[in-house]
A and B are shown apart, each in its own frame.
Chain A
Amino acid sequence: MAALSHSFVAKDLLAAEPAPAAEHGPIGWARHHLFGSVPQVLLTLFGAWLLYATIPPLVRFFITDAVWTGDSRAACVPASPDQVVGACWPFIAAKFNQLVYGFYPEAERWRVNLAYLLGAVLLVPLLIPALPGKRLNALLFFGAYPVVAFVLLTGGNLDLRHSLLGYLGLSAPFDALGQAFGVRAAFWADYVLSAVVVAAVAALIARMVAGAGAEKGAAKTALTVFAALGLVLLAVDIDFGLPSVETRLWGGLLVTLVIAVTGITVSLPFGILLALGRRSELPLVKISSILFIEFWRGVPLITVLFFATYMLPLFLPGRLTIDGLLRALVGVALFASAYMAEVVRGGLQAIPKGQYEGAMALGLNSGLMMRLVVLPQALKLVIPGIVNTFIGLFKDTTLVLIVSIFDFLGSLRAAFTDPNWATPTTLFTGFGFAGLVYFLFCFGMSRYSMALEKRLDVGRRH
C-alpha cells in the first residue's frame, strides 16, 4: 500500500478567505440594502433626492441663516431685500416663559416648577422597573401627588362652608369656634357626623342583607372611604397661605401637561373597567358600558369640549359654573376612557378560553381570575395600542384652544399676535419649535413603550 504514502492529505484546514469586497463591509451592505435590484436602486435614488431636497434647506433655515440674538422684530427682519433671514429664535426666547407657564403670575411660578419637579421625582422611579417600593411609589404618585399638585397650582384653600347643620340652623355654635387653619368647624363637624350616620346605615343594610356579623365590615368600609376622602378635602381646605391662582391664568406647557397627565392616568383604569363591563354577563353593566363607549367614541372631541363649555352652563342651576379647565379635563378624560376601553377589550379577546378555564379550575373567583390571570396577559398584549392612545391624547390636548384655554399651542398662537415680533419667519420658527417639543414628548413615550415591550417579551409570545 505504498501508493497511499504518496497521496496528499491536507492536514490543516485552509484559512478562511475574506468574503469578496462586494459582499461585506460598507460596499456589500450598500449592494444588498441599497442597490440590490432595479426598483431598489430607484427607491434609493429617490430617497437620496428627498433628503437632499429637505435637509439642507431645513438646516439653512433653522441653523445657518437663523437669527440667534435680538430683542425685537427688528433683529429678524431682513435689512435689505437680498438678505435671507432664517428662523427667528429670539422670538422663542422672549416668549419662552409664556409658552411654559401661560399667564401664571411670575412670583408664583416656583409652585409650577415644584409641581413639575415632584411629578418627575415620583414618576421616574415608577417607570424604572428595577427600583423597589413600587406599591408605595404608585400610591404616592396616583393618590397623594394629584392632591399636592392641585393645592400647589391652584393655591388650595377651597371654601368648604356648606353644611347640613347650616340648613337645620344648627351651625351657630360651630361658627363661634371660628376658623382654625382657615378651616370651618361647621363643615367638619358635619362631615364627621355624616360619616357616622352613613356608616351606621351601611351596617344596618349589611346586617339585613348578609345577616349578623356583616355589619362590622360594612361600617369599617364606609368609615375608611370617609376618612380617605376627608384627608383629601382637608388638604384642599387648609389655608397654606398660597395666593390663589385661577385656572384661567394657567397656560402653555403647564396646561398641556395637566390635561395630558390627567387624561392618561384617568383613562387607563376607567378604560379597563369599561372593557370588563362590556364583556360582563350582567345585562345592566354590559349595556351601560356599551352605551358609554359608543357615545363617547361617536362624538368628536371638539363637540365634547364645546358642549362642556357652552352648553353645560345652560343646564346647571342658577349661576353655578364649573371651572373651565375642569370641564375640559372631564371631557378629555371621558373621551380617552372610551378609546382605552376598546384597546383593552382587544387584548381581552386575544386571551384564549383555556386561560379562563384554567383559572376557574384553580378555584379563583372572577375578580381574582381577571386580576391574576387574564388582565396581566391582556394588558401586556396591547401595550402598543395603549401607548398609541396616550400619544393621540397628548396631541389632542391642543383642541382645548377652541374653548379659550391656552395650552402650549394656544400660547404660541397668542404669541404670534405680538406686533413686536411679527416677522415673515416668526410663524415658521414658532411651529418648528412646537413640533420639536411635541415630538420629544411623543417620541419619549414611544421609546418607553418599546423598552417595556422588550422587557415583557411581548413579541416572542406568539
Chain B
Amino acid sequence: MKPFLFAVAGLLSLAGVAQASTLDDVKARGALNCGVTQGLPGFSNPNDKNEWSGLDVDFCRAVAAAIFNDSSKVKFTPLSAKDRFTALTSGAIDVLSRNTTWTMSRDTTLGFNFAGVMYYDGQGFMVRKSVGVKSAKELASASICVQTGTTHELNVSDYFKANHIALGEVIAFATIDEAVKAYESGRCDVFTSDKSQLAAVRLKLTNPVDHMILPETISKEPLGPLVRHGDDQWFDLVKWTYFALLDAEELGVTGKNVEEMVNSPNPEVKRLLGSDGKYGEALGLTPDWVVRIIKAVGNYGEIYDRNVGPETPLGIERGLNNLWNNGGIQYGMPVR
C-alpha cells in the first residue's frame, strides 16, 4: 500500500522551502510569493482587470521585476491580520507587504526585518466641513466616534491630554462600519482612525465632499514590507528595492524616461541604473536591476500617485511621504 500513501502525499502540495537562500528559492520557483491584505483600498485590492493593485502590491511587483524582469511573476497571498506573521515565518511567503506597522517587538522578538517604510500613516480626524473646524486643536468637547479594541482610543485621550484640550465624549463601536454609520448619522462630530482609512471611508459617505480630514497626525504608523530573519542577502535585496524606488524619484528617473536616463551623464543616475559600476550584482541581480524595476512599476512617486495620490479617488496628499528634499521624510540611501 505504500505507493498509495505516496500518491496521497503527492496530492498534498509540497511547500518545501530550503533555508539556504530565499533568492535561489524564488528563482527556482519562478515567482515571488508575496503576502498582502484581503482587501484594503489603495494598498492591496483587486481591480477591474481581476489583478491585485495598490501601493503594497506594486512594491512586490518591483521586487519581482528586479529579479525576473517581469513584474507579473508574483503570487499574491491574501492574509488576515492574524495569520500574516505565521505565513512569513513558515516560509509560505517570501515578503510580507501588508500594511504592517514597524514596531520594535515585530522587528525583534517576532524575528522579522523591516525593509523600509512604504507609507507613513498615522491617526487623524475627519469632520463635517459645515462645522467649520480647521485644526484638531479646535475639537474641544467634541464627541468622537472610534472603533473599539484599537490603539485609536488611547491615542485620542493621550493627544487631548498632552495638548490640554477638553476631551468630549468618546463613543466606541465594535466595527469600523458601525462607527462610520454613527458618525454619518450625526451621533458624533468627529470620526477618528488612521488617515489612509479615513480617506477610504470618506468615499463611502453619502456626500464625500462634505467631509474633510484635519491636517494633524497624532500617532506614528510606519507601514512597510518585511522579511524574516536569517537571510541577509534577501533582506538587502528587498531593502534596496525600496531605496531604489526613492532614489529614482529623487533623481527624476521615471517609468517613461528610464530608457534615456540610462545614458545620463549624472554620475548618481549612472550608478543607480547600472551604466557605471555593478552594484546590482552584490544583491545577486544584474547591474541593470533598477532599470527593470522602474520600467515595470515606475518610481516611488509614480506608485504613490497611481494608487493613493491626490488624483485617485482616495486623494491622499503626499505629506510625510514626500521626499526629504520636498518636505517629507522619505529618504533613499545613496547607491555608491
Contact = CB atoms under 8 A, between A and B. Distances in A.
A74 to B, nearest CB: 9
B91 A163 contact: no
A364 B264 CA distance: 93
B200 A422 contact: yes
Interface stretch (A267-275, A410-418, A446-454): A410-418
A233 B77 contact: no
A404 B48 contact: no
B4 A194 contact: yes
Given A404-B77, A422-B204, A423-B203, A417 B39 contact: yes
A98 B50 contact: yes
Contacts of A95: 48
A418 B7 contact: no
A319 B313 contact: no
Contacts of A77: 208
B1 A420 contact: no
Contacts of A161: 10
Nearest to A316: B12
A160 B10 contact: yes
A78 B207 CA distance: 8
Considering residues A78, A98, A106, A161, which has the most beta carbons from chain B within 10 angstroms of its beta carbon?
A98
Contacts of B91: 319
Interface string A194-230: 1000100000000000000000000000000000010
A81 interface: yes
Interface in A382-422: 402, 404, 406, 410-411, 413-420, 422
Q: Which of A198, A233, A320, A422 has most chain B Cβ within 10 Å?
A: A422
B99 to A, nearest CB: 12
B332 interface: no
A318 B252 CA distance: 48
B3 A419 contact: no
Is chain A's interface secondary structure helix, strand, loop, or mixed overall?
Answer: helix
B178 to A, nearest CB: 13
A205 to B, nearest CB: 14
Interface string A150-193: 00000000111111100000000000000000000001001100
A306 to B, nearest CB: 9
Interface string A91-132: 000110110010100100000000000000000000000000
Given A404-B80, A417-B40, A319 B16 contact: yes
Contacts of A191: 3
Interface in A313-355: 313, 318-323, 326
A309 B86 CA distance: 11
Nearest to A167: B2
B163 interface: no
Contacts of A31: none
A420 B46 contact: no
Contacts of A163: 3, 6
Given A106-B50, A310-B86, A418-B41, A424 B3 contact: no
Contacts of A415: 39, 46
A411 B45 CA distance: 11
A429 interface: no
B45 A418 contact: yes
Contacts of B83: 309-310, 404
Contact of A321 (B13, B39, B50, B51): B13
A423 B204 contact: yes
A288 B91 CA distance: 37
Given A194-B2, A404-B77, A419-B200, A320 B12 contact: yes
Given A81-B207, A94-B48, A160-B6, A73 B313 contact: yes
A415 B38 CA distance: 10
Contacts of A413: 38-39
A417 B204 CA distance: 11
B46 A98 contact: yes
Size band of the A side of the interface?
35 or more
Contact of A418 (B9, B10, B47): B47
Contacts of B47: 418, 420
Interface in B1-28: 1-4, 6-7, 9-17
A233 B313 CA distance: 51
B12 to A, nearest CB: 5
Interface in A282-324: 309-310, 313, 318-323
Secondary structure at chain B's binding surface: helix, strand, loop or mixed? loop
Nearest to B92: A321
Nearest to B78: A404
A169 B6 CA distance: 16
Contact of A248 (B1, B14, B46, B77): B77
Nearest to B80: A404
B53 to A, nearest CB: 8
Contacts of B312: 419
A322 B11 CA distance: 8
B46 A418 contact: yes
A458 to B, nearest CB: 40
A373 interface: no
B206 interface: yes
A427 B48 contact: no
Contacts of B117: none
A313 B9 contact: no
Which of A313, A411, A417 has the largest count of B CB atoms less than 10 A from its CB? A417
B18 to A, nearest CB: 9
A414 B12 contact: no
Contacts of B15: 319-321
B46 A426 contact: no
Nearest to A327: B12
Interface string A3-16: 00000000000000
A101 B50 CA distance: 9
B311 to A, nearest CB: 12
A188 B7 CA distance: 11
Nearest to B41: A419
Contacts of B13: 321-323
Contacts of A164: 2-3
B274 interface: no
B148 to A, nearest CB: 20
Top 4 closest A-B pairs, CB basis?
Answer: A417-B39, A422-B203, A162-B6, A417-B45
Interface of A: 73, 77-78, 81, 94-95, 97-98, 101, 103, 106, 158-164, 187, 190-191, 194, 198, 229, 233, 236, 246, 248, 309-310, 313, 318-323, 326, 402, 404, 406, 410-411, 413-420, 422-424, 426-427
23 contacts: A94-B48, A98-B46, A101-B50, A103-B51, A106-B50, A160-B6, A163-B6, A164-B3, A194-B1, A229-B4, A310-B83, A321-B12, A321-B13, A321-B15, A404-B77, A404-B80, A404-B83, A413-B38, A414-B45, A415-B39, A419-B45, A422-B200, A424-B206
Given A163-B6, A187-B6, A320-B14, 12 more contacts: A98-B46, A160-B10, A162-B10, A194-B2, A229-B7, A233-B7, A310-B86, A319-B14, A417-B46, A418-B48, A419-B313, A422-B203
